[in-house]
Amino acid sequence: MLHEGNVVVQVRDLYYTYPGGIEALKGVNLEVYQGEVLAIMGENGAGKTTLVKHFNGILKPTRGQVLVKGIDTRHASVAELSRIVGFVFQNPDHQLFADTVYEEVAFALRNFGYPEHVIESRVKWALNLMDLWKYRTRSPFSLSVGERKRLTIASVLAYDPEIIVLDEPTAGQDHLQKEKISEIIHLLRLMGKTVVIVTHDVEFVTEHVDRVAVMARGKILAVGPPQRVLCDPQLLREARLVAPQLVKLSLILRRHGILNEGEYEWRADKLAPKLIKVLRSGADGGSPGI
Ligand SMILES: Nc1ncnc2c1ncn2[C@@H]1O[C@H](COP(=O)(O)OP(=O)(O)OP(=O)(O)O)[C@@H](O)[C@H]1O
Ligand SMILES: [Mg+2]
């Protein structure tokens, strides 16, 4: 559920320049609301990862400000912020280090001082959730890329942070595991967590997020519900994003007068009845108009 007004991350006029001189963020403003699932989309190099790395203080603003639950990230350590913001890196190898899958997940819990029996039950829960319990004694580096990614997700879920940032969680996952990640996002939503997902997966976004922030060249071009943002052909062109298949179909149907101007459907179960009606009227002697 979206609770506007209850802002958990506030990004104010954020600029970030990498030590080499690349200006990756150029005046980003964004509010993340408690309990929402927010997607950040945009082409390679748009600045998505740079932006979310500010949420747990791995990067500090060159200019501007990021507040996480009211805490200015410039004055807080990564360890402190990580308790609030769990971060799953784009590249799992930047996160993994333990000798076994079990220890990988247990690490943060040990750091936070949980008793051993709690650690055990949390590790078991998280590894089962991610289909990895069977690998608990293996080295994280012996896992496939997709499994490693799921392991980093398990490590974060195990210690139950309030805000969860997932940088491209579905990359490298097969269909079944993507479904699993969808279910987990659904579960996190039910638990009242705030989830920020960086993704290129436009179909995934249409089904699972409340709002989308579209980035290009270090700026946010638009923020809004996916129904609006992903149906704006000009915005999609500007951000070099591809429309979801059903939006493409809706745009074609509009041109042929089957959907009204400004009308679109991007859910198959909503679009299908309209198409069936047109096709039926065609079969009955009327013109389907295609
Ligand atoms: N460690 C770094 N040092 C210098 N420049 C960097 C570094 N990391 C990223 N950049 C540059 O900053 C810009 C934004 O990169 P960023 O990784 O935030 O993009 P992104 O939107 O996450 O892209 P992708 O979809 O490829 O993950 C790019 O021009 C990139 O080359
Ligand atoms: Mg990235």
Same domain, 233 and 290: no
Dist CA 240 CA 42 (whole Å): 7
CATH of the domain at 133: 3.40.50.300
Is residue 41 included in any domain, yes or no?
A: yes
pLDDT tens string 37-72: 999 999 999 999 999 999 999 999 999 999 999 999
pLDDT tens string 150-163: 999 999 999 999 99
Residue appearing with tokens 């958990």 = 8
Q: Do 20 and 178 form a contact (C-beta atoms < 8 A)? A: no
Phi-psi region of 249 (alpha: psi -120 to 50; beta: other; left: phi over 0): alpha
Q: Which of these, 227, 190, 196, 201, lies nearest to 39 by C-alpha position? A: 196
The residue whose C-alpha atom lies closest to atom 29 belonging to ligand 1 is 45
The residue whose C-alpha atom lies closest to atom 18 belonging to ligand 1 is 47
Same domain, 203 and 214: yes
**Could you tell me the sign of the dihedral formed by the alpha carbons of 21, 23, 24, 25, in that order?**
positive
Q: What's the pTM?
A: 0.90
Span of 29-43, 206-220, 266-280 with lowest mean pLDDT = 266-280
Measure 49 CA to ligand 2 centroid, in angstroms: 4
Q: Which residue out of 16, 40, 41, 49 has the highest number of ligand 1 atoms within 8 Å of its CB and is therefore the one to mutate?
A: 49
| Adjacent-strand bridge partners of 223 | 213
Q: Do 182 and 196 form a contact (C-beta atoms < 8 A)? A: no
Q: State residue 1's pLDDT score.
A: 47
The residue whose C-alpha atom lies closest to atom 12 belonging to ligand 1 is 24
Q: Which of these, 212, 161, 205, 167, lies nearest to 50 by C-alpha position? A: 167
Is residue 108 included in any domain, yes or no?
A: yes
What's the chain's average pLDDT?
A: 90
The pLDDT of residue 3 is above 90 = no
Span of 127-131, 212-216, 227-231 with lowest mean pLDDT = 227-231
Q: Do 132 and 154 form a contact (C-beta atoms < 8 A)? A: yes
Domain region containing 263: 244-290
Ligand 1 shell residues, CB under 6 Å: 18, 20, 22, 24, 42, 44-50, 90
